[in-house]
C-alpha cells in the first residue's frame, strides 16, 4: 500500500468520480510537469482550472488561470504542485473550501495535513501522479460522463 494508505481501487474510484480539478502551481511553460499533467487532465475529460497568481490570468491550454484556490471553487479535487513544506496550507484551504479530495504530486507529502484532511472527510492522495497511475489502474482514455 502507498504512503497515503489508499488502495489502487480507491484511487481508481476517486479519479472516476472526480469532475472538476483545481491545479495549484499550474504553469504555462511546456517543459514543466504541472503543465503536462494539466494538459493530461484536460485530455481525459476533466474540467481543470490552473491556480497560480504568477500567471496573471494567462491561459494554460485554453483555460484561464486564477490567482487563488477560492477563485477556482467549487472544487471536487485540488491537485497540488507545491513543495511539501507549503502543501499543508493548500490542504487547509482546500478543506475550508469544501474540496472532496486533495492530490499531492510525486515527492510531496505532509502527514499532519493528511490527518487534518481525513478528519474533515477529505480524501488525500500523496506522492503520486495521475499520469503515472492512469494506465496501471486500467482507466479509460476519457472519463465517462456521469461515472
Assess whether pLDDT exceeds 90 at residue 147. Answer: no
pTM greater than the 0.85 cutoff: yes
- CATH code for the domain defined by 8-134: 3.40.50.720
> Per-domain residue ranges for the chain?
8-134
The average pLDDT across 122-142 equals 95
CB 44 within 8 A of CB 147: no
Section 83-99 average pLDDT: 97
Given a cut of 90, whether residue 146 has pLDDT beyond it is: no
The pLDDT mean for the chain works out to 95
Tens-digit pLDDT profile for residues 16-46: 999 999 999 999 999 999 999 999 999 999 9
Taking the C-alpha atoms of residue 32 and residue 23, their distance in angstroms, rounded to an integer, is 13
Amino acid at each position: 500500500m502507498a504512503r497515503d494508505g489508499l488502495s489502487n481501487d480507491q484511487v481508481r474510484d476517486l479519479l472516476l468520480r472526480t469532475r472538476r480539478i483545481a491545479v495549484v502551481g499550474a504553469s504555462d511553460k511546456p517543459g514543466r510537469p504541472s503543465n503536462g499533467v494539466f494538459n493530461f487532465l484536460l485530455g481525459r475529460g476533466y474540467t481543470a482550472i490552473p491556480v497560480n497568481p504568477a500567471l496573471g490570468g494567462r491561459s494554460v491550454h485554453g483555460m484561464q488561470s486564477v490567482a487563488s484556490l477560492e477563485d477556482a471553487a467549487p472544487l471536487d479535487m485540488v491537485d497540488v504542485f507545491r513543495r511539501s513544506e507549503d502543501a499543508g496550507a493548500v490542504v487547509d484551504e482546500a478543506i475550508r473550501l469544501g474540496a472532496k479530495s486533495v492530490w499531492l504530486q510525486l515527492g510531496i507529502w505532509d502527514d499532519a495535513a493528511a490527518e487534518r484532511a481525513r478528519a474533515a472527510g477529505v480524501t488525500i492522495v500523496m506522492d503520486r501522479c495521475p499520469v503515472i497511475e492512469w494506465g496501471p489502474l486500467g482507466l479509460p482514455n476519457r472519463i465517462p460522463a456521469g461515472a
